[in-house]
Structure 1
């Protein structure tokens, strides 16, 4: 979703350029009639975001826990199969995330340390991740139109990509996790790539789903790396070429860049 400005700037070659702005909308999420929070979202793939966010925050354990999702302008209403203890949820302390799109999480660092360890058999190379990150960038229409969107994608076992975009990096990850929940994707079979910084709450989303490898075109925070080391998640940052860096030592990502560039 993007907004075309009526004012057009003239390029150096004398041609006019259309200027597109990414759009964001406030959306209130209600669970069993109680308001969970209001989020800034891009108005695409909202059902997937809803499932992914509720799972990431520990409200549901699977897509089967949701009885109904009703999406109206500015509001998402969710009814669960079993009653949610909404009072207990609301008593949990909200934490504003270190990112864009008014991110909110109910999980603290200590909460995430209690997650099950992630067990996967992934063995991939940095050159493979670079290739897929390049494909991801080329196939991200909202970013390519506006230059101001975040994206997240699953690298599927056959090498295909499932891409979701949003104004917020956390929202984009929730959307692709929601896709996984709704389509029965085995988290042990996929790799998660994101355009945004890997902070502790981004790491917690991938770890809770059970993803063993997460990569980003930018950095990971110290807290995220500490959690990843503890939970068995491989974290790769700066996936841009020779800058690519494996922060963790789980031997799920092989650094073959020197061999590849010396040929």
Structure 2
């Protein structure tokens, strides 16, 4: 019997300008990308230039960030925290009401469903930590030329933060990107996608009812259960063309 290695997770504290925000369970890969992505997703920064310095100390389990902008730690701590569901639990400061105030997505680029299925398969084949351990989540962006960048973590939302961090550090334009994830699409996942501006998010598993409602409101296309030749089209923003059998692609 082939035995896979166990996936790793470590407590990592995030400090901004001397204020400890929280301790997160993270996999020790691409932690700098995670910090950029999390800070952007939560509204602490507007772009990569807002970070003056960042120090990742894996041995001590800490990430220390210095911002160029003013940071009111007391105001942050006064906001209600929402703990994200699932493995690698994290913290978000955005409620469903907050996310509804985000700008609606207007990108017009379209994809065929067969293309999404093909890229989802390629994503799975290139997810090295998952192939090694069998217990990792992943997130990837598909660029306009079809190339992909993958980030993995014990937590599905952490993986998405890592890929967003990569995108903002490389100054990639969201309207030309496709986001794929291995994890369940919940409202906080939609909030991260909406904050960056991803027009389409695809997953190998389900989307929650709240996530679908929010995606429809923000005009984000959500495709779930991308497996083989099957898929569930949860929304109808017009960015995904169903070019496979209607019996295999369920439209909700």
Q: TM-score scaled by structure 2?
A: 0.95
Pick the aligned partner of 1:46 from 31, 47, 52.
31
Partner of 1:139: 126
User: 1: distance between equivalents of 2:238 and 2:106?
Assistant: 12
Q: Are residues 1:58 and 2:43 paired?
A: yes
Deviation at 1:242, TM superposition (A): 4.1
Structure-2 residue corresponding to 1:93? 80
Looking at structure 1, the residues matched to 229 and 143 of structure 2 have their Cα atoms a distance apart, in angstroms, of 24
Separation of aligned partners in 1, 2:197 and 2:104: 8
**Deviation (angstroms), 1:122:** 1.7
- Is the CA contact (8 Å cut-off) linking 1:125 and 1:253 kept in structure 2? yes
Given the two structures, how large is their TM-score scaled by the length of structure 1?
Answer: 0.91
Displacement over 6 Å in runs of 4+:
none
Residue 103 of structure 1: aligned partner: 90
How many residues were matched structurally?
246
Q: For residues 19 and 205 of structure 1, what CA distance do their matches in structure 2 show?
A: 31
Equivalent in the alignment of 2:56: 71
2:5 counterpart of 1:20: yes
Which residue of 20, 27, 42 maps to 1:35?
20
Matched with 1:237 is 224
Instruction: Give distance in 2, aligned partners of 1:100 and 1:222.
Output: 20
Question: Gaps spanning 5+ residues in structure 2: where?
Answer: none
Counterpart of 1:175? 162
The one-character-per-residue Cα deviations of 1:118-142 (angstroms, maximum 9, x if unpaired) are 1111210110000000000000010
Single out whichever of 237-246 and 22-31 deviates more from structure 2.
237-246
Within-5 A mapping of 1:195-210: 195-210=182-197
Indicate if the aligned counterparts of 1:140 and 1:163 stay in contact, CA closer than 8 A. yes
- What CA deviation, in whole Å up to 9, does each residue of 1:182-212 have, x standing for no partner? 0010011100000000000000000000000
Q: CA RMSD in A?
A: 1.3
- Tell me how far apart the structure 2 counterparts of residues 124 and 19 of structure 1 sit (CA, whole Å): 35
Query: 1:204 and 1:72 mapped to 2: Cα distance?
Result: 28
Distance in 1 between residues matched to 2:26 and 2:238, nearest whole Å: 36
Are 1:153 and 2:140 an aligned pair?
Answer: yes
